[in-house]
Amino acid sequence: MKVAKTIFNVAGIYGIVVLLPHYFMEEAIGRAQPPAITHPEFFYGFVGVGLAWQFAFLVIAQNPIRYRLLMLPAIFEKWGFVAASGTLIAMHRVAPSFAVPVAIDFILGSLFLWAFLKTPQEQNP
């Protein structure tokens, strides 16, 4: 159970560190990787939903047994991104360097699955 706590704490902190700056990077991203962001509602929506999940990971870390079932959508959060991004990379719609964050999320999703399988079910009194 200590390993599950560590996995979800690390994932949550990492995700906050990576995603939070995006709120201030819309123009910089448009300059570095044209064209500019044309639908900011999707961009900021993605960042907001992504950040919400990072806080959910921190909640799971507080009590992995109690929140064990929440690990299942957490796995989908990671692997859903991996599947979509992997497809975009294969179609040459994003740069191959995007494989780095995709690989990180694949590893985190795998660790989430491992934590789910190793975490005992909550015993009802």
The per-residue pLDDT for 124 is 67
- What confidence tier does 123 reach under pLDDT thresholds 50, 70, 90? confident
pLDDT reported for residue 1 = 83
**Integer CA distances (angstroms), 30 to 27, 36, 39, 48, in order:** 5, 4, 11, 19
The Cα 46–Cα 50 span in angstroms is: 6
pTM of the model: 0.92
pLDDT at 38 over 70: yes
Report the pLDDT averaged over residues 32-61: 95
Q: Where are the domains of the chain?
A: 2-118
Give me 88's structure tokens: 């975009």
